[in-house]
Amino acid sequence: MSKGLLFVVSAPAGCGKDTILEQVLEKAENVGYSVSATTRAPRPGEVDGTHYFFLSRERFEQMIAEGAVLEYTEYCGNYYGTPKKGVEDMLAEGKDVILKIEVEGAMNIKKLFPECCLVFILPPSMKELERRLRKRGTEDEETIMRRIAQAKNEIDTALNYDYFVVNDDLEDAVSDLMAVIRGEKCRKQRNLDKLNEIKGE
């Protein structure tokens, strides 16, 4: 059985990455999601083990010391990291795996797994991103301006990614990400053993 592929998806807050990923994970076959660990508090509706593994700082630091996270970062005062075992098990089972992590973590994963595929989700424009952040109505003006500045910094790193998906229309963005996953699976370099199989050698 061939190993699964690793996809890393990043996007600034307000680009709709959670919704896009939810729909892709529902539709795509044999694609798993890596549940991250974090020390931030759960938001209303978030379930431990589904959205994140919610850990104390002490437990998180223990995982780092044990080498149990593939990568981690401190973001807005909290740790976020990718538990190693879940990802390795899914890949070994032949499942493709999606990590939803920020840009620094994405670069660290690329160093560990040079064959992984990096996807950046972009807003159609900064103006539209600002409109979406305001529409949420959950943040004050200062936070909104901080998030926009942060989004600009994150977008500056998008050139390090392999694919851009622009979330102008949700349905299109979902099918674009599905197309990236399918396309990557067809790459020659990932399928060289198939040639021999097909020829019966």
Q: What string of DSSP letters covers 70-139? A: EEEEEETTEEEEEEHHHHHHHHHTT-EEEEE--HHHHHHHHHH-TT-EEEEEE-S-HHHHHHHHHHH--S
Residues in the chain: 201
The minimum distance between CB 183 and ligand 5GP, in angstroms, equals: 23
C-beta neighbour count of 73 within 10 angstroms: 16
Give the nearer residue to ligand 5GP in terms of CB position, either 4 or 81. 81
Give the nearer residue to ligand 5GP in terms of CB position, either 4 or 105. 105
Give the nearer residue to ligand 5GP in terms of CB position, either 21 or 180. 21
Query: Do 52 and 42 form a contact (C-beta atoms < 8 A)?
Result: yes
The minimum distance between CB 158 and ligand 5GP, in angstroms, equals: 13
Give the nearer residue to ligand 5GP in terms of CB position, either 36 or 167. 36
The minimum distance between CB 189 and ligand 5GP, in angstroms, equals: 27
| Token code pair at residue 21 | 């990923």
Chain-centre distance of CA 14, in angstroms? Answer: 14
Give the nearer residue to ligand 5GP in terms of CB position, either 148 or 190. 148
Residue burial 34-60, b: 16+ Cβ < 10 Å; e: rest: bbbbbbeeeeeeeeeeeebbbbeeeeb
Give the nearer residue to ligand 5GP in terms of CB position, either 101 or 129. 101
Residue nearest to ligand 5GP (CB): 105
The minimum distance between CB 92 and ligand 5GP, in angstroms, equals: 20
The minimum distance between CB 155 and ligand 5GP, in angstroms, equals: 13
| Cα atoms found within 13 Å of the Cα of residue 95, Cβ hemisphere only | 17
d(CA 54, CA 40): 7
Query: Which residues are near ligand 5GP by CB under 6 A?
Result: 36, 40, 71, 73, 75, 80-82, 100-102, 105
What residues pair up with 189 in beta bridges, in sequence order?
A: none
The minimum distance between CB 200 and ligand 5GP, in angstroms, equals: 43
